[in-house]
């Protein structure tokens, strides 16, 4: 890891992104673009900065999430509530390839920073919007958070036990999905710009990002007459595919629902007769009798320690994996071999582990060049370079509290 947050060598090297916004969806998209080599210039409020600096688990005054969420970014502190601050952002926008924002729709237009205004000075600009409900439609102006997107996108209704209220996934799933679609949209728009020379807007709604992953749920209801609901740890009709207990108190996920793989599982269990038993011999039969089958497999796994069970399943070519917690991820040899545990320095002088770059590029690998910056760490340098702010103007703006 170097100390240069700006200049990467990944597939997006040479692309400059202006990140406007805070919290998760927009900034996570900015993190991913930075991982792939883009130069990401993050605008923050001079006082307090992005609220994510103090969200989640805080250690020595800094969020443990922040070094990862803000990695590979340069921080420019500008007060967007002022005319002078917005004028600075317009000057920066003339020099970038992408503006990534997650304000409530209409905010940028009120500030004179909407796509139409910025495209006049930068026709090749790609502007990526991330919001709860999108830029159009009857609810476009409503506040929308990731949890609301998860509910309206359908995934909350299908997550959890059938006799309990809907559950959440335990992470900010809606925000993260929207961020990934924002990155996909950004790269698609940049590819098209290479042909036409023109920019465009990319409109990502959190609820739509969730709905896009809901498989055939709408068709199942309208055509098949079945409305999917909560089914706990299993997918109805797909068996065996569940987490099974082991003798030493762990759980192992076994996915043996394909006919050939189920046959190999039966050999591992020393129960080869199950493969030809009419109750389990086909995918449909196993789905119909999944509760009984899961009980059989669970009774078998409960007689083995985790390591022995995993070794036996590997020997027979049965896909399996222990249900991991953070300590498992931090020490797993496969995680470490694929550089999925990075160590990022913190402002307090320590370090925090974070997930590595996904996906892996063979010829132009992404990477992490620097962890989350201090508020306004790059303000003076970048405002001089991108907005032509000289020493006199800097002093005037700093004295007025517009920049930091």
Question: Is the preceding peptide bond at 254 cis, omega within 30 degrees of 0?
Answer: no
> If you count DSSP H runs as helices and E runs as strands, how many of each does the chain have, helices first?
17, 13
Instruction: Please state whether 186 falls in left (phi above 0), alpha (psi between -120 and 50) or beta.
Output: alpha
**Length of the chain in terms of residues written:** 404
Q: Which of 114, 175, 203, 294 is catalytic?
A: 175
User: How crowded is residue 56: how many other Cβ atoms within 10 Å of its Cβ?
Assistant: 12
Please write down the HEC assignment for all residues of 182-224.
Answer: HHHHHHHHHHHHHHHCCCCEEEEEHHHHHHCCCCCHHHHHHCC
Catalytic-residue membership of 175:
yes
Count of CB atoms within 10 A of residue 14's CB? 12
In 3D space, the residue among 400, 350, 402, 335 whose CA is nearest the CA of residue 91 turns out to be: 402
Q: How far apart are CA 109 and CA 272, in angstroms?
A: 67
| CA 141/CA 131 separation, integer angstroms | 9
Q: In terms of C-beta density within 10 A (0-12 exposed, 13-18 middle, 19 or more buried), how is residue 260 classed?
A: exposed
- In angstroms and rounded to an integer, the radius of gyration of the C-alpha atoms of the chain is 25
Strand pairing of 39-44 and 320-322?
unpaired
As to burial, measured by CB atoms within 10 angstroms (0-12 exposed, 13-18 middle, 19+ buried), residue 246 is: buried
Q: Which residues lie closer than 8 Å to 238 by C-beta, 6 or more apart? A: 257, 287, 290
Query: Strand pairing partners for 19?
Result: 42, 100
Nearest to 240, CA basis, from 187, 348, 163, 319: 319
Question: What is d(CA 327, CA 349) in angstroms, rounded to the nearest whole number?
Answer: 23
Which residues are annotated as catalytic?
175
């Amino acid at each position: 890891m170097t100390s240069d947050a700006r200049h990467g060598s990944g597939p997006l090297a040479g692309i400059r992104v202006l990140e406007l916004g805070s919290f998760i969806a927009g900034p996570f998209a900015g993190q991913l673009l930075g991982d792939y080599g883009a130069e990401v210039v993050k605008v923050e409020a001079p006082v307090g900065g992005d609220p994510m600096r103090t969200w989640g688990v805080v250690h020595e005054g800094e969020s443990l999430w922040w070094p990862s969420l803000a990695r590979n970014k340069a921080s420019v502190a500008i007060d967007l509530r002022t005319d002078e601050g917005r004028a600075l952002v317009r000057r920066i926008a003339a020099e970038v390839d992408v503006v990534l924002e997650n304000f409530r729709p209409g905010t940028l237009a009120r500030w004179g920073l909407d796509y139409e205004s910025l495209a006049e000075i930068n026709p090749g600009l790609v502007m990526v919007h991330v919001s709860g409900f999108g830029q159009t439609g009857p609810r476009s102006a409503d506040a929308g958070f990731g949890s609301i997107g998860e509910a309206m996108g359908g995934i909350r209704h299908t997550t959890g036990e059938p006799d309990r209220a809907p559950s959440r996934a335990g992470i900010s799933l809606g925000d993260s999905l929207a961020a990934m679609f924002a990155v996909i949209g950004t790269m698609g728009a940049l590819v098209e710009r290479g042909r036409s020379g023109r920019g465009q807007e990319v409109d990502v709604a959190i609820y739509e990002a969730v709905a896009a992953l809901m498989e055939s749920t709408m068709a199942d209801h309208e055509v098949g007459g079945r409305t999917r609901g909560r089914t706990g740890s299993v997918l109805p009709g797909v068996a065996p595919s569940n987490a099974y207990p082991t003798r030493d108190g762990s759980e192992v996920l076994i996915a043996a629902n394909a006919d050939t793989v189920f046959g190999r599982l039966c050999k591992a269990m020393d129960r080869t007769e199950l493969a030809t038993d009419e109750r389990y011999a086909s995918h449909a039969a196993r789905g119909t009798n999944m509760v009984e089958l899961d009980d059989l497999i669970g009774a078998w796994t409960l007689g083995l320690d985790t390591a022995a069970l995993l070794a036996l399943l590997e020997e027979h070519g049965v896909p399996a994996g222990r249900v991991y917690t953070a300590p498992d991820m931090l020490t797993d040899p496969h995680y470490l071999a694929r550089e999925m545990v990075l160590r990022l320095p913190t402002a307090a002088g320590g370090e925090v582990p974070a997930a590595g770059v996904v996906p892996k590029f063979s010829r132009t690998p992404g990477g992490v060049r620097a962890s989350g910056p201090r508020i306004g760490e790059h303000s003076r340098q970048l405002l001089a370079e991108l907005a032509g702010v000289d020493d006199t103007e800097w002093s005037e703006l700093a004295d007025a509290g517009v920049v930091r």
